[in-house]
């Protein structure tokens, strides 16, 4: 059966992760940006990976809505959850836990924190102010963690992890 990746992004980082995961997974993979496409019916997918990015502590609303609306169906599938964000380690993990329903996190075969990127050229004045004044960063930076993406995909493909989540 096919695998589905649904994601949302503000400036492209979570999209980069979605496409990388899509390239690494074997078999048929459909990658859907919820910004401009409705999620397809989930019946034809055995695996659903959901990803978004964190802004002022929160993931995109449509990601939350997708999880809440599809929760019963998602609990019958293999799922993976990820975020892109600038915080690292425990603070990043807390953001993942705060932004996905707990039952989905517990059911997930893999969860991933893939780091983030800040591109001042892509930000509006409000975003620049938040990043400079609240987060204290003034230059473009990439903490995107390709290794974390690879490890996430390995866990998604791990048959033992699959048995554990059943």
Q: Which residues bind ligand FMN (CB under 6 A)?
A: 9-14, 53-57, 84-87, 95, 116-118, 123, 127, 130-131
Cβ closest to ligand FMN, residue 103 vs residue 130: 130
Bridge partners of residue 53, in order along the sequence? 84
Query: DSSP 3-state assignment of 122?
Result: helix
Query: DSSP 3-state assignment of 129?
Result: helix
Taking the complex as a whole, the smallest distance from the CB of residue 77 to ligand FMN amounts, in Å, to 24
Nearest C-alpha neighbor of 104 from the set 44, 159, 158, 59: 59
Query: In the numeric block, which tokens belong to residue 144?
Result: 């995107």
Cβ closest to ligand FMN, residue 28 vs residue 88: 88
Query: In the numeric block, which tokens belong to residue 68?
Result: 């809440």
Cβ closest to ligand FMN, residue 32 vs residue 123: 123
Taking the complex as a whole, the smallest distance from the CB of residue 63 to ligand FMN amounts, in Å, to 11
Phi/psi of residue 83, each to 5°? Answer: -135, 155
Taking the complex as a whole, the smallest distance from the CB of residue 161 to ligand FMN amounts, in Å, to 26
């Amino acid at each position: 059966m096919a695998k589905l990746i649904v994601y949302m992004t503000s400036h492209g980082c979570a999209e980069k992760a979605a496409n990388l995961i899509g390239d690494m997974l074997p078999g048929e993979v459909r990658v859907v940006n919820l910004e401009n496409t409705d999620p397809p019916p989930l019946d034809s997918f055995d695996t659903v990976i959901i990803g978004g990015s964190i802004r002022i502590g929160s993931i995109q609303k449509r990601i939350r809505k997708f999880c809440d609306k599809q929760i019963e169906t998602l609990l019958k599938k293999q799922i993976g959850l990820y975020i892109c964000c600038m915080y690292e380690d425990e603070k990043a993990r807390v953001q993942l836990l705060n932004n996905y329903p707990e039952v989905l996190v517990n059911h997930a075969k893999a969860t991933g924190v893939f780091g983030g990127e800040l591109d001042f050229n892509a930000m509006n004045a409000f975003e620049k102010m938040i990043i400079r004044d609240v987060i204290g960063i003034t230059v473009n930076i990439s903490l995107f963690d390709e290794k974390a993406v690879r490890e996430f995909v390995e866990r998604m493909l791990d048959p033992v992890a699959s048995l554990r989540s059943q």
